Amino acid sequence: MSRETEADLPGDVLPGVLSETLHAELVAFRRDLHMHPELGNQEFRTTAAIKERLERAGLRPRVLATGTGLVCDIGLAEGERSAVPLLALRADIDALPIPDTKSDCPYRSIVPDRAHACGHDVHTSVVLGAGLVLADLHAKGLLPRPVRLLFQPAEEVLPGGALVAIGDGVLDGVGRILAVHCDPRVDAGRVGLRHGAITSACDLLQVALAGPGGHTARPHLTTDLVTAVARVATDVPAVVARRVDTRGGLAVTWGRIESGHAPNVIPQHAELSGTVRCLDLDAWRDAPDILHAAVDEVATLHRAKSEITYVRGVPPVVNDRESTELLRRSMVARRGLDSVESTEQSLGGEDFSWYLEHVSGAMARLGVRRPGERTVRDLHQGDFDADEYAIKVGVELFTAAALLDDDVS
């Protein structure tokens, strides 16, 4: 049953409203993906399911060169080049390597240690639904500009499948790109918007320390590697915090420390690894040099040799003002002023940021919390789930954006 009443909707209803029949189909599609999650660059079943549904609607999707993920243009004949920049709608399609811990859920993952615990199945269903609705509008002569659907693999695999997709030409001819990301802190029926950085940069840092080792009775004759790794763990974040403007939000958080095998033996090797997160784009660009210097200084102070592996992840997603305003106008047109709320910058990373290095665009936070639900089913947790009404909201947000976007220069 629809949640809206006539009084809930704005007076001038745009075309592109999702029918109850198609919404039910998209919910079933999402549940099928949820039961069959696939990791990054392994999304063959997912890609095939999306491709089949688009082809059934008379569209011509193209699978990316890597074999997973696909793009599909609406409003262009095969081989035709658009006279105006395309609007791209992006979804990520991969899952996470964690078990689905939901109980009494008929669409719980049937794949061991795999789960759609970040909402990518919802994102995929939203862009698929938007594409089907927009294809129908185009057939009726109501689509003002061509739209590209982008179903991207491997968002969870640093530095992100977006880079591979860009290399495959998915941004050719695109003038603006939009995306949504599930937010379990926001009620379904609402979106969170922010101009500027809405996510953070996220990199990986691995440090290996080495020393000659020895007996715990004589630490003064060797390198006390356990103490050295402990000091790196505590001192490096403190050193970094004093070498970067605090407004840049550069933070190091360790997730693993490993060293030693016996209580009376000073080991020869120690390792620690963690993430480097950053709110500011300029600080992120300087982060590798800053971290290398900080680790070397602390390790040298304790007579340990250090080897640093710094893996670039993703820069922050920085929403441009015009694209953010387009999302706001689109949501207000669909559901009124109260459907939009401001959101804060997250410390999470998202490879959607790579697209914004090339074209303008914005990401919205799509509310997926069931209204009245007190327990927040957080992202990247095995019990994560979404209120599937959010699929309808996301589809209608995107179809409104395609109709209201007047940037056709």
Per-residue pLDDT at 233: 98
**Position of tokens 């210097």?**
293
Helix (H) or strand (E) holding 306: strand 305-314
Q: What are the C-alpha distances in Å from 264 to residues 4, 62, 303?
A: 69, 61, 20
Distant-in-sequence, close-in-space partners of 358: CB < 8 Å, separation ≥ 6: 166, 171
- Do the beta carbons of residue 379 and residue 182 sit within 8 Å? yes
Per-residue pLDDT at 246: 87
Residue 287 has which token pair? 């982060």
- Please report, in tens digits, the pLDDT of each residue of the chain (409 residues total): 356 543 444 545 789 999 999 999 999 999 999 999 999 999 999 999 999 999 999 999 999 999 999 999 999 988 888 889 999 999 999 999 999 999 999 999 999 999 999 999 999 999 999 999 999 999 999 999 999 999 999 999 989 999 999 999 999 999 999 999 999 999 999 999 999 999 999 999 999 999 999 999 999 999 999 999 999 999 999 999 999 988 888 999 999 999 999 999 999 999 999 999 999 888 999 999 999 999 999 999 999 999 999 999 999 999 999 999 999 999 999 999 999 999 999 988 999 999 999 999 999 999 999 988 877 788 999 999 999 999 999 999 999 999 999 864 4
Residue 175 has which token pair? 């003038």
Per-residue pLDDT at 5: 46
Residue 361 has which token pair? 């665009």
Distance between CA atoms of 182 and 405, rounded to whole angstroms? 23
Provide φ and ψ at 366, rounded to 5°. -90, 115
- Do the beta carbons of residue 363 and residue 196 sit within 8 Å? no
Per-residue pLDDT at 407: 63
Q: Is the link from the previous residue into 159 a cis peptide, with omega within 30 of 0?
A: yes
Distance between CA atoms of 68 and 168, rounded to whole angstroms? 12
Confidence (pTM): 0.89
Distance between CA atoms of 49 and 34, rounded to whole angstroms? 13
Distant-in-sequence, close-in-space partners of 342: CB < 8 Å, separation ≥ 6: 192, 193, 194
Per-residue pLDDT at 9: 47
- Do the beta carbons of residue 250 and residue 283 sit within 8 Å? yes
Residue 241 has which token pair? 């915090």
**Position of tokens 């974040």?**
237
Helix (H) or strand (E) holding 176: strand 174-187
The number of beta carbons lying within 10 Å of the beta carbon of residue 361 is 28
Distance between CA atoms of 332 and 372, rounded to whole angstroms? 22
- To 5 degrees, how large is the angle CA 139–CA 143–CA 145? 125
Distance between CA atoms of 176 and 189, rounded to whole angstroms? 24
Distance between CA atoms of 227 and 233, rounded to whole angstroms? 10
Q: What angle in degrees, to the nearest 10, is found between the helix axes of 281-301 and 225-241?
A: 150
Q: What angle in degrees, to the nearest 10, is found between the helix axes of 389-404 and 120-139?
A: 50
Residue 25 has which token pair? 């189909």
